[in-house]
A = this chain, B = another copy of it.
Amino acid sequence: MSRAPRGAARARLIEAARRLVRLKGFAAATVDEICAEAGVTKGAFFHHFASKEALGVALVQDWSAMTGAMFAAHPYNALPDPLDRVFAYIDLRRDLLDQPLPEITCVAGTTVQEVYAQSAAITAAAQESLQSGAAHVLGHLREALAAHPVAGVTAEGLARQFQVAVQGGIILAKGAGDAAPAREALDHLERYLRLLFGR
């Protein structure tokens, strides 16, 4: 148990919270536990965060930034055809499912389930995260719909359906104890899009 370098406590606390929240949810992840996992004392915790709720907000915001950077940096964004980008994004999300259940868990999705009626601040952060998650495909979908309009379908609504498939897939995966249903959810989403766009 080597002591962590000075200045790293905040980041370590968020990382630890991410691991624990994905494993057991926000309420069940206690402050003491998070501190122990981060190798930091409670003094440090409440130096960086005014409350457990404040940590929750920071955790979800960090999650948003982390996943956002990851998707933005991915090479699939360079494909010329927008619909190719959409399908490549689905492939990417499918690849991400080759991990243990805690690691495929969405921090924003799990957390908002628990706190939507408890903490407006965390809920707002989660909403932002879910929206920014949908925003990754939004541009591609807009282009694709511009080239091939579909009656009654908006890019925003379709982008939200990506989140629906991802979040719903995670729940089924947790029930089954296996990521397979989450993969299947993406398969159906892809089939839906191919039918919509005639591919």
**Contacts from A to B (Cβ < 8 Å):** 23-25, 27-28, 101-102, 105, 108-110, 112-118, 123, 126-127, 130-131, 152-153, 157-158, 160-161, 163-172, 174-177, 181, 184-185, 187-188, 191-192, 195-196
Bound-state Cα–Cα, A143 to B91, Å: 31
Give A70 Cβ to nearest chain B Cβ, in Å: 20
Partner of A168, one of B115, B166, B196: B166
Bound-state Cα–Cα, A177 to B131, Å: 13
Interface residue SS majority, chain A: helix
Pairwise interchain contact A123-B174, C-beta atoms closer than 8 A: yes
Residues of B within 8 A of A130 (CB): 171-172, 175
Bound-state Cα–Cα, A109 to B185, Å: 16
Tell me which of A171, A176, A184, A187 has the highest count of chain B C-beta atoms within 10 A of its own C-beta. A171
Give 8 A-B pairs besides A131-B175, A168-B185 with Cβ atoms closer than 8 angstroms. Answer: A25-B114, A108-B175, A109-B113, A112-B174, A116-B174, A164-B165, A164-B185, A192-B192
